[in-house]
A and B are shown apart, each in its own frame.
Chain A
Amino acid sequence: MELLHHLQFGFGVALAPMNLLFCFAGVLIGTLVGVLPGLGPPATISLLMPISFGLPAETALIMLAGIYYGAQYGGSTTSILINIPGEASAVMTCLDGYQMARQGRAGPALGISAFGSFIGGTASIIGLMVLAPFLARFALKFGPPEYFGLMFLGMVVLTFLSKGSMIKSFISIAIGLFIGTVGIDLVDGVQRFTFGAPVLMDGIGLVPVGMGLFGIAEVLTNLEEKKVREVFRSEIKGLLPTLKDWKESAGPILRGSLIGFFLGILPGGGAILGAFTSYAVEKRLARQPETFGKGAIQGVAGPETANNAATGGAMIPLLSLGIPSNVSMALLLGVMLIHGVRPNAFLIKEHPQIFWGVICSMYVGNVLLIVLNLPLIGVWVRLLKVRYGVLFPMILIFCLVGSFTINSNHYEVLIMLIFGAVGYIMRKAEFPQAPLVFALVLGPIMENALRQSLLHSRGKFSIFVTRPICLVLIMAGILILLIPLVSQVRGKRARIMEEAQGE
């Protein structure tokens, strides 16, 4: 079968010594980042982007993707042990996982979490493997208007699923789009918004913005609070879940895989939505729903599987269409663009080592992760004792040095610092930053699509509505935009978001 041939090739790439090494590094760093509350995959990927420049594209992506899905493994550790989610997607795990720990069942909770994550992650890669080429073939029919419509829909869904006000999300997107226009206009060769500054002529790079918004701003925001963490002291014995645990978890794991995978494909959906939906579904389907919140293993198995399954789903739009479904994917897209690779329907044909190499590396990564996570839990727990006071200066220095190394230009450092301040202000004013990064990466592509469409149609906007696929995309986007106007749904959405942020 052709698929086997692809897999053979892909594993050949994934198991090459250098790629294997960087895969290991990526998942290790990812787990670490997942365990540490406050630091997330977007920040870490931003921080490591300069290092990825010297690497071949597939190696860079293998490592950075490893950080992304690795973090979903690590996030559950702190949820279970100290009731603090390492990642936003691990919030649901706190509810029952911590209760299980308090009942002396931290071991099985951690165990089923790891196993569920592995199953969910692996299952979603299989889904990715099957669906992505199919989608890519479908996308061959896409022309500039369709891409524009798709990006429009993606942004709408992203804002709809983001927490906070949709207005602010849209403003964030608009600002990101604007930043993307700074630099030399490729069509006309005209300088836009550069005000004569040479550093701006190439545009404002993703790396300083990412490091500023997610690295510097994160540290600045965290400086205000004093964090007190009480790590669960009692011994963690017996990591293996009992047979009864497995029986109860089988259904949630199965359902979690499907839920997470499909929700991961949606822009803005991803791990958080997957985990929350899985919890809600399991509670609805459980024979004894009242046990939820008191240490029901289904409440751990389902969400943990779902948030890992979402990682595979999230890669689909990126690899087959070139549309990122969340911030981490947007950053990966940025890395690809910096390496001169343009992911679209032709990625499979033109860069099979990237497409199949990355997919196969995800299998390898998941295996590495389950090996890392089970025995090393003690290590992760000890790591939590690292003082924030030491961590923060390190992150800041890392950002300062890293941003300099992009172009050996110290003005990049200034750009990063400016966006650090912007990010801090945005957090205070409750503007989400993820849409900004999203738009920054997609903006130039979107503008190109728009201009090409208009050139092609000689100025008629009707091109967007006469082409069927494009029309469907745009109508879907407009419909979703109209939903919040129905105030009932708005109330429900607000409640859902509040519940998800709850603890």
Chain B
Amino acid sequence: MNRISGIVVFFLGAAILWQAMALRIGTFRSPGPGFFPCLIAVILIALSFFLIIPSPKEKKKSSPLSLRSLGRVVIIYGSLLAYFFTLEFLGFVIAGFLLMIFLFVVIDRQKITVATVTAFIFVTLAYVLFNVILKGQLPQGLLGI
């Protein structure tokens, strides 16, 4: 795992360095916009080696991630992304309502009917709190509210 992290960090550092050189690095006398990012990139690359090269003190592997729990996380994260992508189109009320039903059913294992009611209550509360009281401007979408 550490090795993978190290490789990722290495490439991240390399990417930053590449971009930093496109911005002007400048000189010590007058550091350019790329100066600090360049420093950061060098540090990242250097540190990544420590992760890639196994150290003599390797503790036992941390708890392995079961595929099932990872799946759960991915599904829920996916629902959040779906919320994001449909937010402008559907508007907060619909998108939020649908998301809440989904989350209550999946995370709390509520029955759909219960979840729908709870979601309705929460969406209304959120709408009142954010749009009416705090005068936010949640996306209106299809319903136009």
Contacts and interface: CB of A to CB of B under 8 A. Distances in A.
Contact of A192 (B23, B29, B48): B23
The interface size bin for chain A is: 35 or more
Nearest to B126: A401
Given A405-B130, A413-B84, A429 B5 contact: yes
B103 A393 contact: yes
A400 B82 CA distance: 12
Main secondary structure of the interface of B (DSSP, over half): helix
A233 interface: no
B19 interface: yes
A375 interface: no
A397 interface: yes
A223 B47 contact: no
The interface size bin for chain B is: 35 or more
A408 B88 contact: no
Interface string B69-101: 110110011001101100110001000100110
Nearest to A170: B47
Contacts of B35: 451
Contacts of B19: 193
Given A178-B16, A390-B108, A223 B28 contact: no
Contact of B137 (A188, A408, A424): A408
Given A178-B16, A223-B76, A397 B126 contact: yes
B109 interface: yes
A35 interface: no
Which of B48, B66, B80 is packed against the most chain A CB atoms within 10 Å? B80
Given A392-B107, A405-B134, A447-B36, A400 B47 contact: no
A51 B137 CA distance: 14
B73 A220 contact: yes
B51 interface: yes
B108 A431 contact: no
Interface string A163-205: 0000110110011011001000101101011000000000000
Contacts of A350: none
Interface stretch (A102-110, A312-320, A456-464): A456-464
Contacts of A390: 104, 108, 118
Nearest to A221: B73
Nearest to B43: A174
A413 B87 contact: yes
B40 A430 contact: no
Contact of A224 (B2, B73, B108): B73
A168 B47 CA distance: 8
A181 to B, nearest CB: 5
Interface stretch (A125-133, A275-283, A414-422): A414-422
Interface in B21-79: 23-24, 27-37, 40-41, 43-44, 47-48, 50-51, 62, 65-66, 69-70, 72-73, 76-77
Contacts of B118: 390
B40 A177 contact: yes
Contact of A167 (B50, B70, B77, B92): B50
Contacts of A17: none
B1 interface: yes
A396 interface: yes
A397 B65 contact: no
A155 B61 CA distance: 28
A346 interface: no
A24 B88 CA distance: 36
Interface in A434-472: 447, 450-451, 454-455, 458-461
A167 B134 contact: no
A177 B73 contact: no
A216 interface: yes
Contact of A410 (B30, B81, B108, B139): B139
Nearest to B99: A397
A424 B78 CA distance: 14
B109 to A, nearest CB: 7
B47 A174 contact: yes
Given A167-B51, A393-B108, A417 B73 contact: no
15 contacts: A171-B9, A181-B37, A224-B69, A387-B108, A389-B104, A389-B109, A392-B107, A394-B122, A397-B122, A397-B126, A404-B136, A410-B87, A410-B88, A420-B77, A429-B1
Shortest Cβ-Cβ A-B pairs, 5 listed: A389-B108, A459-B29, A393-B103, A459-B28, A224-B69
Interface of A: 51, 54, 167-168, 170-171, 174-175, 177-178, 181, 185, 187-188, 190, 192-193, 216, 220, 223-225, 387, 389-390, 392-394, 396-397, 400-401, 404-405, 408, 410, 413-414, 417, 420-421, 424, 428-431, 447, 450-451, 454-455, 458-461
Given A171-B47, A174-B40, 12 more contacts: A175-B12, A178-B16, A188-B32, A190-B24, A190-B33, A224-B72, A390-B118, A392-B107, A393-B104, A417-B84, A431-B5, A460-B28
